[in-house]
Amino acid sequence: MDLNSQEVIKRLSDEHGADNLVVILGAPDDESAEIAAETVVLGDPTYAGALAEAQLGLSVYHVLEEEFRSHVDDDVWEEQIGVMADVLDAEGISAAVKGMRDQKP
Amino acid sequence: MFESKQVIVLGERDGIAGPAIAACVASAGGTVVYTSTECFV
């Protein structure tokens, strides 16, 4: 994950509290989604950024997960996400992010 | 889902971009506090 994003997430977690934050991902595949989710749940696996060894345990979802999608207006969804929902492997991505969410400390 | 929550949006260039996700979050009643569109390499 981008180092600047890690710094911002650490700061927001300090300011608002981890329980008051939700992260929504737009990763294109299960591998990158899992790494991004791991970074905000268990810490940066590459130990390169501000979230290294920071087990924030943030609530994290991918934009294609039904838990999120079900809250979005259908017209907005079609306009903003549209065909990408069919192109990407929503099932595999969702499983990867849920698997990491379940490891929340 | 977003009641009293602040939302961090981490889009990706090859997947769903940050602003598109942020629009969906707003539609769902969430408050976005950070949006980025990253390039995963």
| Rounded Cα distance, A88 and A70, in Å | 18
> CB under 8 Å to A78, separation ≥6 — which residues?
none
Number of domains in chain A: 1
Whether B41 has a pLDDT exceeding 80, the answer reads: no
Closest-CA residue to A35 (of A74, A62, A66, A7): A62
Residue B8 in contact with residue B36, Cβ under 8 Å?
no
Contact check, Cβ <8 Å, A26/B10: yes
Stated pTM of the model: 0.96
Q: For A30-63, write each residue's pLDDT tens digit.
A: 999 999 999 999 999 999 999 999 999 999 999 9
Q: Is the dihedral of CA A82, A84, A89, A90 positive or negative?
A: negative
The residue of chain B nearest to residue A22, with distances taken between CA atoms, is B7
What is the largest distance, in Å, between two alpha-carbon atoms of chain A? 40
Q: State the ipTM, two decimals.
A: 0.96
Residue range of the domain that includes A29:
3-101
Q: Which strand (E) or helix (H) includes residue B36?
A: strand B31-38
Q: Using a CB-CB distance cutoff of 8 angstroms, which residues of chain B are in contact with residue A36? A: 10
Contact check, Cβ <8 Å, A20/B11: no
